[in-house]
Amino acid sequence: MLLHILLASPFVAAFLLALIPGRFLRASLVASTGLASAIAGFALFIISGLNGSPIASDSISWFTLPGTTATVHYSLFADGFALWMVLLTAILVTSVIWIGKTCAGERYKGFAALVFLLEGALFGCFLASDAVLFFLFFELLVPPAALLISVFGGAGRNRAAILFALYTLLGSAPMAIALWALATWTGTTDGMQIATALAAIAPEKVTLLFFAFALAFAVKTPLFPFHGWQAEAYSEAPAPVTALLSGAMAKVGVFGFLRWTMPIFPNEVVEYGTLFILLGLATVIYGALVAMRQTDIKRILAFSSLSHLGLTVVGAFTLHDGAIFGVVVMMVAHGFSAGALFLLAGIPERWNGTRNIFAFGGLASQSPRFSLLFMLACLAAVAVPGTLGFVGEFLILQGIWQTFGPIIALAAGLGAILSAAYTLRMVQAMLFGKATSTGVGPEIRKSEMVAIFPLIAILFVLGFAPKLVLHSVESTLGQAPSSVANAIPENAPNATER
């Protein structure tokens, strides 16, 4: 029952917000902030009581997939991995809702409602245990995200929204066909039952199905060369929306690799894993090199996000226990750091009307509170010791070294070195560069500090206590390196029905 309430809560929040008359802007602000905080608190309550054991909802027969004998079930499953993704999303949404008035203005109610709908779709992706149910939520991510970009974004918002929608929908189309084929051949849409039934299917067919799933997740992450939508969407979307896209939605791609692709297609993951490791390495290096050439702060952060998530894909396909632990830790760390940085990036843009980092010289003396938060967020982003990102990157690189040797590990580690280079360049230009007449801006607002500071604080708290993340995921990540979700929700021996 708890999982049903958790999944429904963002959709209920959007509905309640829609009941408030548009002219009552203050009421919309108070209601949306309270609802977002309550959802985050509920997610924290569930994960704090998990104690390493997965939980599952009752499996409810929903409908028979047309043309097949497979019945789609409304069934939810959560372990530490899924719930950390849910908690990350809920906390980011709270910050985005809190700070969203700056970009939405009088249209705030519509903005907040779309954010809640996006949150609900993200929750569904992380909690669904039926493959078709997961896919429905996976596709449901597109409308609210595209509308947030096209309605509240910058001058190129329409093109960015169209690119995002086209890439996502075209990338997931083969997965839709693959799901129908799977249901036809196996008679089920439950992920673990599919994995067992595929043993009787011709290997060449299974390979095609594997690549159909992998393509959808490669576009969503995104991986090079499927990243054409990302820089446009991230730079044209308003900063709070970009914080949510990069901090939470991008995690669905990596989550899909770990939760669905690897358990369903373990043989294909072993056979073709090297291909995705090479794609991940290309993404790490390409993203970092392009970030170094950018002067637009949001494009720097966009390509930085591309590079960091490439490393998580490399870690996942090592099939090394320690590296997979590191992937989960890094996903949490990157979610909070990217969210904080994109929220911070929107503040000087609002002051000066530009995103060029060389137009903000001298902010350290002009806006010391903003500069302190920005510096701390950058330190967390480059994974200095004492932050959660350091733990994640260390575990991933250690796993790569032990699996593939020092050459591949050094290639992956190059991304961390380049990350420090372009981040320090950004910090020097914005905070300590030569002050300009257009670079003078007011100090960060208290409301913005309230929204952003917790994201940064979490990174340092968990950096010194990473066991809070690792302990809650070790029961489902530490057993089989090729399978993160290695239990059928309905039949899992460690699952508790709620």
Q: What is the pLDDT of residue 103?
A: 77
Contact call for residues 57 and 76 (beta carbons, < 8 A) = yes
Amino acid occupying residue 474:
E
Q: What is the pLDDT of residue 67?
A: 83
**How many domains would you assign to the chain?**
1
Percent residues over pLDDT 90 in the chain: 48
**pTM recorded for the entire structure:** 0.90
Average pLDDT value over all residues in the chain: 86
Amino acid occupying residue 219:
V
Q: What is the pLDDT of residue 105?
A: 77
Q: What is the pLDDT of residue 135?
A: 94
Q: Which residues pair with 63 in a beta bridge?
A: 72
Q: Domain containing 369: what range?
A: 2-497
At 323 the three-state DSSP class reads helix
Contact call for residues 109 and 25 (beta carbons, < 8 A) = yes
Q: Which residue has the higher pLDDT, 102 or 278?
A: 278
pLDDT bracket for residue 496 (50, 70, 90): very low
Q: Residues 304-347: pLDDT tens digits?
A: 999 999 999 999 999 888 899 999 999 999 999 999 999 998 88
**For residue 212, how far is the Cα from the chain centroid?**
21
Amino acid occupying residue 138:
F
At 71 the three-state DSSP class reads strand
List of E strands, 25-150 = 55-56, 60-64, 71-74, 77-78
Contact call for residues 475 and 115 (beta carbons, < 8 A) = no
At 23 the three-state DSSP class reads coil
Q: Residues 88-98: pLDDT tens digits?
A: 999 999 999 99
Percent residues over pLDDT 70 in the chain: 93
Q: Residues 408-446: pLDDT tens digits?
A: 899 898 888 899 999 999 999 888 877 664 444 577 888
3-state secondary structure 425-490: HHHHHHHCCCCCHHHCCCCCCHHHHHHHHHHHHHHHHHHHCCHHHHHHHHHHHCCECCECCCCCCC
What is the distance between the alpha carbons of residues 271 and 250, in angstroms, rounded to a whole number? Answer: 25
Q: How many CB atoms lie within 10 A of CB 166?
A: 14
Amino acid occupying residue 284:
V
Q: What is the pLDDT of residue 379?
A: 92
Q: What is the pLDDT of residue 191?
A: 73
pLDDT bracket for residue 498 (50, 70, 90): very low
Instruction: Please classify residue 116 by burial: count the beta carbons closer than 10 Å to its beta carbon, then call 0-12 exposed, 13-18 middle and 19+ buried.
Output: buried
At 63 the three-state DSSP class reads strand
